[in-house]
């Protein structure tokens, strides 16, 4: 991928394209995120360009030069193209406003770049570079806000957020990504207009939340979002964590513990979602008594179900929901490891975690936010030991794909029974043996199955058949 700076060098395809627009009597500007990231020396994959040309005029200029064009956004003024390997979207100067419940803006084409920039979300995204001259256009002091690391709106904040209420959440997304503070006037407007987030589609909220979570500073952004009352409108389970775990000793509340866990995880979406939601079952399961003090029994089970419901409401894909549910459901099991796990327990842990084992272990490690250095060291050592035991078992057996030593077809032939509950019970018995003792081999598995059947008054035929052929076992597969 070419750097943004190289695209502004003499002879670059971008400047050649701008010359084509100029020859046809149109202006072309590099705008928005690429200009911001160029100033911050951050990478930016795609280019956003703005022009006074109407979409059909843009298409006529670009099509002869492009390897590929896409026109999904043409009714909103945008022509997408890949020119000399550079992905770009070229949009006619415009302003936009979102109506309630609409995922698409009402677009008005504008006459000047300054008007176009005035309707953008924040001043740091409301800068442009005029091409091919490479002249900066910064009518709202976006460059100054970059230096101050501040997020302001180009126009009065209430007007900006009324045009598109999602910009309220986007403020916290950019705060997380860039590490910028949000101007007090912006925070005040968000507090006053926060209910407008209810008019935004779940998919748009989901996308902004996802970007916020994988930013460099999600904890500060989430705390600021909560301070405005916005967080509780789309993530009430997280906002509701502001309770003291122990009102007597006044230990840290679950909300700030959660933010700490999020920041201790790698910026990977499913992992950070799991970190964000891993304790949301605590308020529902919180109990205080003289014997145990404060407890949250089964909060992981309750929280996993709550997380699944919230992520479904936000329209996250099923694969993301499954990963987060699994990690939350299992994240507390590790704390029984100190009592001593047999190989059987380790096998069950790996099997239950399935493809999410690494993610689960990373969440468990991040969940240790204690300031007690000795306790933190003990917890880390236990996880190191568990992971070493998992690797040792993997070297001896297919621990990640544990199955009974016999399959259903073999069980039915040996017992002489049709498909039904007896087959399921037999397979469950064999699976328990597999967990407890590791691989038995077919001969031993048949011997154990025979004894199990006799104890239940089942007469066996003793017929042995080979296991069902797997597709991966077939020649040429």
Mean pLDDT across the stretch 99-104?
58
Q: According to the model, what pLDDT value does residue 103 have?
A: 56
pLDDT band at 476 (very low <50, low <70, confident <90, very high): very low
CATH architecture label of 6-148: 2-Layer Sandwich (3.30)
Binning pLDDT at 50, 70 and 90, where does residue 32 land? very high
Over the stretch 222-234, which tens digit does the pLDDT of each residue have? 999 999 999 999 9
Rounded average pLDDT over 426-437: 85
With bands split at pLDDT 50, 70 and 90, how would you rate the model's confidence at 280?
very high
pLDDT of the residue at 472: 43
> How much is the average pLDDT of 309-324?
97
Of 226-235, 254-263, 342-351, which range is least confident? 342-351
Measured CA to CA, the distance from residue 4 to residue 8 in angstroms comes to 7
Q: In the structure, what pLDDT confidence band is assigned to residue 441 with cuts at 50, 70 and 90?
A: confident
- Among 79-93, 153-167, 237-251, the range scoring the smallest mean pLDDT is 237-251
Q: Average pLDDT in the 240-255 region?
A: 66
The percent of residues above 90 in pLDDT, for the chain, comes to 60
Query: Distance between CA atoms of 137 and 118, rounded to whole angstroms?
Result: 12
CA angle 276, 176, 123 (to 5 degrees): 145
What does the block give as tokens for 83?
Answer: 């020119």
What's the confidence (pLDDT) of residue 348?
86
Indicate the Cα dihedral angle 461, 467, 468, 472, nearest 10°: 180
pLDDT of residue 128: 97
The pLDDT value recorded for residue 252 is 57
- The confidence band for 30, taking pLDDT boundaries of 50, 70 and 90, is very high
Residue 288 has pLDDT above 80, yes or no: no
Average pLDDT for 196-211: 96
Convert the pLDDT of each residue in 37-65 to its tens digit: 999 998 887 899 999 999 999 999 999 99
What is the structure's pLDDT at 477? 38
* Higher pLDDT pick, 329 / 242: 329
Higher pLDDT, 406 or 143: 143
Q: What is the spatial distance between Cα 10 and Cα 414, in angstroms, rounded to a whole number?
A: 79
Between vectors from CA 204 to CA 203 and to CA 208, what angle results, nearest 5°? 115
Task: Give the mean pLDDT of 94-102.
Answer: 64
Please list the alpha-helical segments (H only) found in 41-141: 55-62, 113-118
Tokens of 171: 């403020």
- Topology of the domain covering 149-234: Hydrophobic Seed Protein (1.10.110)
pLDDT top residue among 77 and 287: 77
pLDDT at 208: 98
Whether 296 shows a pLDDT value over 80: the answer reads no
Confidence label for 166 from pLDDT (cuts 50, 70 and 90): very high
Does the pLDDT at position 80 exceed 60?
yes
| Residue of higher predicted confidence among 176 and 459 | 176
What percent of the chain is modeled with pLDDT above 70? 92
Q: Which two tokens stand for residue 87?
A: 């992905």
Identify the residue whose tokens are 């950070």.
Answer: 272
> 474: pLDDT confidence band, cut at 50, 70 and 90?
very low
Question: Once rounded to an integer, what is the mean pLDDT over residues 303-319?
Answer: 97
> Which pLDDT score, from 0 to 100, does residue 274 have?
97
CA torsion through residues 273, 276, 281, 284, sign: negative
Interval 442-466 mean pLDDT: 87
pLDDT in the model for residue 249: 44
Question: What beta strand segments (E) does 22-118 contain?
Answer: 28-31, 47-51, 68-70, 78-83, 86-92, 94-98, 105-109
- As a whole number, the mean pLDDT across the chain is 89
């Amino acid at each position: 991928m070419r750097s943004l700076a190289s695209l502004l060098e003499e002879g670059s395809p971008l400047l050649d394209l701008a010359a084509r627009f100029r020859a046809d009597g149109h202006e072309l500007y590099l705008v928005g995120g690429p200009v911001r990231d160029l100033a911050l020396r951050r990478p930016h994959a795609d280019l956003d360009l703005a022009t006074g040309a109407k979409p059909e005029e843009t298409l006529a200029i670009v099509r002869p030069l492009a390897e590929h064009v896409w026109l999904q956004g043409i009714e909103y003024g945008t022509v997408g193209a890949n020119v000399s390997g550079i992905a770009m979207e070229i949009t006619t100067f415009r302003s936009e406003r979102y109506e309630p419940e609409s995922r698409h803006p009402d677009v008005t084409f504008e006459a000047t770049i300054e008007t176009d920039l005035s309707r953008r979300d924040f001043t740091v995204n409301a800068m442009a570079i005029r091409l091919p001259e490479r002249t900066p256009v910064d009518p709202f002091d976006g460059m100054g806000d970059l230096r101050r690391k501040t997020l302001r709106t180009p126009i009065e904040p209430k007007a900006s957020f009324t045009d598109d209420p999602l910009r309220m959440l986007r403020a916290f997304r950019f705060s997380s990504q860039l590490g910028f503070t949000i101007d007090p006037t912006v925070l005040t407007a968000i507090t006053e207009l926060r209910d407008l987030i209810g008019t935004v589609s779940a998919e748009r909220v989901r996308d902004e939340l996802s970007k916020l979570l994988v930013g460099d500073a999600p904890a500060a952004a989430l705390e600021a979002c909560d301070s405005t009352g916005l967080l509780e409108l789309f993530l009430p389970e997280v906002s509701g964590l502001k309770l003291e775990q122990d009102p007597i000793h006044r230990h840290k509340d679950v909300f700030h513990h959660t933010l700490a866990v999020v920041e201790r995880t790698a910026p990977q979406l499913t992992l950070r979602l799991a970190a964000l939601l891993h304790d949301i079952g605590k308020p529902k399961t919180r109990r205080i008594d003289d014997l145990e003090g404060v407890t949250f029994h089964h909060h992981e089970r309750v929280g996993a179900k709550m997380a699944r419901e919230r992520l479904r409401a936000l329209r996250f894909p099923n694969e993301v929901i499954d990963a987060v549910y699994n990690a939350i459901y299992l994240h507390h099991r590790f704390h029984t490891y100190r009592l001593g796990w047999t190989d059987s327990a380790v096998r069950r842990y790996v099997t239950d975690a399935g493809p999410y084992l690494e993610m689960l272990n990373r969440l468990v490690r991040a969940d240790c936010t204690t300031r007690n250095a000795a306790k933190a060291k003990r917890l880390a050592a236990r996880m190191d030991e568990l992971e070493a035991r998992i690797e040792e078992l993997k070297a001896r057996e297919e621990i990640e794909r544990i199955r009974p030593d016999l399959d259903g077809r073999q069980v039915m032939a040996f017992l002489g029974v049709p498909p039904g509950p007896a087959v399921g019970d037999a397979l469950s018995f064999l699976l328990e043996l597999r967990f407890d003792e590791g691989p038995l081999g077919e001969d031993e598995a048949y011997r154990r199955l025979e004894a199990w059947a006799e104890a239940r008054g089942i007469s066996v035929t003793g017929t042995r058949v080979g296991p069902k052929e797997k597709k991966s076992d077939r020649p040429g597969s």
